[in-house]
Each structure stands twice: as C-alpha cells, then as structure tokens.
Chain A
Amino acid sequence: MANILKIEHLFKNYGSVEILKDINVEIEQGDFLVLVGPSGCGKSTLLNCIAGLEPITGGSLHIGGQDMTAVSPKDRDIAMVFQSYALYPTMTVAKNITFGMKVRGVDQATQDKKLAHVAQQLQIENLLKRKPGQLSGGQRQRVAMGRALVRDPKLFLFDEPLSNLDAKLRVEMRTEIKQLHQRLGASMVYVTHDQIEAMTLATKIVVMKGGVIQQIGTPAEIYNRPANLFVADFMGSPAMNLIPAKARANGSGTDIQIAQDRGDPIVLTDTKNRDLPEDVILGVRPEDIGDAAMRSGAHMQEAECLIDIVEPAGADTYAVMQLGGKHVTARLHSETNAAPGNAQRLAFDLGKVSYFAPDTGLRLN
C-alpha cells in the first residue's frame, strides 16, 4: 500500500517571505496526523497546500501515490473542514452537505441515501431543513463534518475544527472525532494549536515552529523524548520543567548538580546517561517529580527542596519551587504534606528525563 500522503522538500513562499521551509511528511492509510504549533507557524498554509488551495513554491506532494503539483483541489480526492466551518449561508443544511455531490453530477437517489446516512451518523437529521444561521456553534461544526464525511475521500483535512467551541463541547467533539476515525479507518490530517487535542487524537504528531518541522513522532515519542527545547516546552501541560544544570561524570554515571536559590545545590546521580557536556538543561516533567515517601524505582533520586507555592488542583497538588533559577513544578499526590516555606523530600525519576544543549536547544540523550 502506497503512502496516502507524501510531502518531500516542500517550500512555500508568499512573495519573498518563506512561510514553509523544507517540509517532509508521510502518512499511511488510517493514520491520524496532527499538525501542531503556535499561531502563525504555517499550519493552515501547509493544509491549504495539501488541499491545492495554495500553489507550492518548491518540492513535491503526492496523494495516493500520484503527483498533485498541478492537480486542482476538486480532483485531489480530499475533503476539508475549515476553522470557520465555511457553511454556505444561503443553503439549508441538507443542501450544504449535498452541494459537492450535486456539482459532481451524482444522481439524486445516491445523494439522498448518502445524506441520510451521514445525517444519522452525526445525529443532525432534525436540522436538515435549517439554514446555517439558525444553528449553534456545535451544530455548525457537525454540519461541516457532515459535508466532509459525505464525500468519502482518500484524505480528510481538518483546520482547527474545534477551536470555536466551548471547553466542554470541545472535549465531547474530540472524543467523537476519535471514534469516527476509528470507525472509518480513514486517513486524516488535523491542524490544531491545542497540544492536548494533538496528544489525544493523533497517531502521529508533527510539531512545527516558524514554518519548520521540529519533530515528527507518535504522541508518546513527542511527549517522552522531545527533540528540542521548543517541543519540550510546547507539548504537555503543565509544561516540562527545563532546569539549567551542571553534569559531571562519576564512575557509574553522571552527577547532575542543580543550584538552589536558598540552601545547598542538589545533586542527582543519573546512572543511565553518560558523556554529557558540562552545561546541560535538564528536562523533567512535573509528574516525574513526586513525594519521596510515595515513590520508588530504579532511577529515583531523592533531594531536599524548598517549596515556595502549593496549588491544590483536585486529583493532584502542584508544588512550585526555585531550582537553577527557574520555577519548577512538581505534581504531588493530593494528600501530600508539602507546605509553602518548608523543605520537602522529593524524588526525581531520572529514567525519564531529557537533556538538552543550552546553546542549540537540541536533545542530548
């Protein structure tokens, strides 16, 4: 089976401004690829290039094994859901959904059958006679999905389809989209700037910044082994702690020394990673720092830390302290006895940490 989508060395300029630089992406049948990145990094532009709505400046783009460079959007066998939904305001919901088929000259019986099927799938049967202006945000979103689904294309493109919905509805629709993907086994490219959406939906994530791909990988890879400081900081909430530290080789492993604002520096011994340069940035996720009394494991290293702030958040309690001149967040059990101003014995899981070079920002381990 050929790749559904294959992008090689794609460049895109607007005038003299380079928006996308050397993009290389491949997805296979059934993949759910999520493009994630901060606002303005070129996600929509890339999606528009895939759809053929914007010409590409350089490189190649294949869909289903065919070169798409000179193929118009309508012949690319794709369907797209826009951030603004872009429903046709003067047409009823039913007409919105069947417009594509009508343009392509599909016969009325087939149109009706497909419309009924999609309406039932998305539970919008009772809305079919309404105009988009008479729908709520969530209902519009469903109609926009319906317009894409009814086409049954090789590739679905979604441009931030949930960003206009309120938080609760967004979570619901997220689940629904995921179910839809699993049921249809369809290939999708999905743009978002919400990293949680990316983590929950994707089989494969592409993290972008300033028109350059930072990392491509499964959600677990991106989360556990971020390729650079940007990805480490961008993915995960609360963000990964990035602590300046000194590494010194010691027989079996490496001593990691972190300055504390008050009190002695703490020293952790990493037995897994060796050959680190002297200056490193230690990346450790909040959930990999816990109460020493409640955590144990092969790579656990304990240290006394001065807690500045304690923030109970229901299931967890976040403790904030100053390490290496940075605010560091630890995710503690809700029954922790940590208190602001007190020292607390914390365990750092060095089996899961990342090291980055301070100058290049690249991953070291």
Chain B
Amino acid sequence: MADLSVSAASPAGQSQTGKIALRWSLYTLLCLFALFYLLPLFVMITTSLKSLDEIRTGDLISLPREVTFDAWRTAWSGACTGIQCEGVRPYFWNSVLIAIPGVAISTLLGAMNGYVVAQWRFRGANIIFSLMLFGCFIPFQVVLLPMARVLGMMGIAGTIPGLIFVHVIYGLGFTTLFFRNYYVSIPADLTKAAKVDGAGFFRIFWSIFLPLSLPIIVVTVIWQFTQIWNDFLFGVSFSQAGTQPVTVALNNIVNSTTGVKEYNVDMAAAIIAALPTLLVYVVAGKYFVRGLTAGSVKG
C-alpha cells in the first residue's frame, strides 16, 4: 500500500483522482475477498439463530426473521450425542482440560529442548534435532496403534491424562523446532557471559532465555492450542465415554440425530466448538505474525 501511494504520487502528471480510483478499486477487491471468506461464518451464525421452521421454509442466506437462542441453549446443554443428551458442555470442559495442560507442557518442554539443541551443542545434538523434526512429519494414522499400546501399558488409556500425553508427545517436534530456530539466532556469547557470571544450565534458561522468548511462546501457544483443540483423530481414538473432547461430541451430535436434522443446533454447536481457537487468534494474532518474523536479538 505504502509503495503504491508513493509511486503514484511521484510523477507530476498523475492526477489525484487517478490515485483515489486506484485505492478504491483495491479496497473493493479486498472487500469482495473478505465477503467471500466470511460467507460460511455468516450462514452459520444466521442459521444458528433461526428456528427450525424458518430454516425449512426460508432462504439459506437470508437474515433470521425472528432471532432465537434456543438452538444455542440446546447445543450447549441439551443436544444428544448418542444416548446422552447433555449438549456439548461436558465435552467442552474435557477439551479445556486436555488443551491447557497439553499446551503448557509441550511449550515448556519445547522451549527447554530448543534451548539445549541451539545453545548447548553437545555431541549428537544435530542428530537428535533431525529425528525430532522427522517426528513432525509422521502422519497421525501411523502412530495410532503403537500409541494405543503405549497408553495401555502406562495405564492411562481412555483418560484425559492419556490424551494430554499423546498431544504433548506429538507436539514436541513442532515446539522444539520453533524454539530451536528462535534460539539459534541468539548469540552464543550470551550463554558464555552467563556461564562466566556463575549461572548454570537452568538459571541461564530461566533468567536469560525465557524472558527473551515472548514472541515465540505466543506462536507456539497458538499453534499448539489450535492443534490440540481441533484434533479429532486422537480424540476419537484414545477417549472413552466420559473423556471425549468437543470435536468428537460435535461429530456425534451431527451424526446421531435421527429424524429431522436440526441445522440450527448443529451450527450453534460448531460455533461453540470453534470459539476458543477464534478467541486465541483475536487476542494473540498480532504477536503471532510478529513472532513468526522475529529473529535476531540485538544485545
């Protein structure tokens, strides 16, 4: 944008109107794209606020004639996910209980791993890092069976700690990668200076590296939260009746209704399930972009 306006302003012949026209066409184009992308969300929200009658008779993209929150109420606490009819609420809390420790543990361990791999170059550090990277690219499906066995042997199959464990293990490759790439750009002299000052391994991590890491922590938290919250495959494979996450519940609500499909309830439940990730992006998105582009730290 800045480039455009500068280059448009510089030649004396270019008129003011030409510049304005350019800008308007640009904005129009951008708005069209935005509309296109927002359309599904629009349909979801309007549908969730309509009554079933209205959905059946009305237009898909029309605004609700009569706004009703009944569908939301049902989705939250009344919709049936099979034989139980408690809505998504209990599953939503399951997801929270899985996601928060999962994100926290995998981020902390990733930070520690990245710090070791980037700043304490022990023999074989590169090999270990390559192996962890490789772990990022193993498809979910491949680890399902071995993971099920491991969980069984550990006695945490079908439990929430079991799911946390799975997500931490699977996320570790990514979180290590993020932190490692961030920490390699930090000059090794910083670690050396701290060593001469008398600080040890953990002290250096805690007092010097962690305080530097806010941007990359935000990136990692967003990434991990999105991954864990939106996960369906691990959730459906490694959970049992009381421990299913919200994504699994959503699937059950949509698929298990018999008779009339309650589109408004489905939509409301889907929005509820997506809300936390949306919220995380809105709150921390600014840091996300900043963290992805942030690199070297000037001493």
Contact = CB atoms under 8 A, between A and B. Distances in A.
Contact of B212 (A53, A84, A89, A147): A89
A167 B187 CA distance: 25
Given A99-B207, A132-B299, A133-B298, A86 B198 contact: no
B59 interface: no
Interface in A243-278: none
Q: What range describes how many residues of A lie at the interface? A: 20 to 34
Interface in A131-153: 132-133, 140, 147
Contacts of A332: none
A85 B199 contact: no
What secondary structure prevails in chain B residues at the interface with A?
helix
A83 B188 CA distance: 12
Contacts of A87: 193, 299
Interface in A31-75: 48, 51, 53, 72-74
A74 B197 contact: yes
Contacts of A80: 192-193, 196
Interface string B167-192: 00000000000000000000101101
Contacts of A113: none
B203 A86 contact: no
A132 B195 CA distance: 19
B194 interface: yes
B189 A82 contact: yes
Given A82-B189, A84-B299, A100 B208 contact: no
A328 B190 CA distance: 46
B297 interface: yes
Interface residues of B, number: 19
Interface in B100-131: none
Nearest to A84: B189
A86 B207 contact: no
Q: Which of B189, B190, B197, B198 has the most CB of A within 10 A?
A: B197
A104 interface: yes
Contact of A99 (B189, B197, B212): B197
Contacts of B203: 103
Q: Which of B189, B196, B199, B299 has the most CB of A within 10 A?
A: B196
A83 B207 CA distance: 22
A231 interface: no
A100 B297 contact: no
Given A99-B199, A103-B203, A132-B299, A88 B192 contact: no
Contacts of A79: 196
Nearest to B212: A90
A246 B194 CA distance: 57
Interface in B279-299: 297-299
B13 interface: no
Contacts of B193: 80, 82, 86-88, 147
A11 B12 CA distance: 70
A180 B297 CA distance: 31
10 contacts: A53-B192, A84-B187, A84-B189, A88-B208, A89-B212, A91-B211, A99-B199, A100-B196, A103-B199, A140-B299
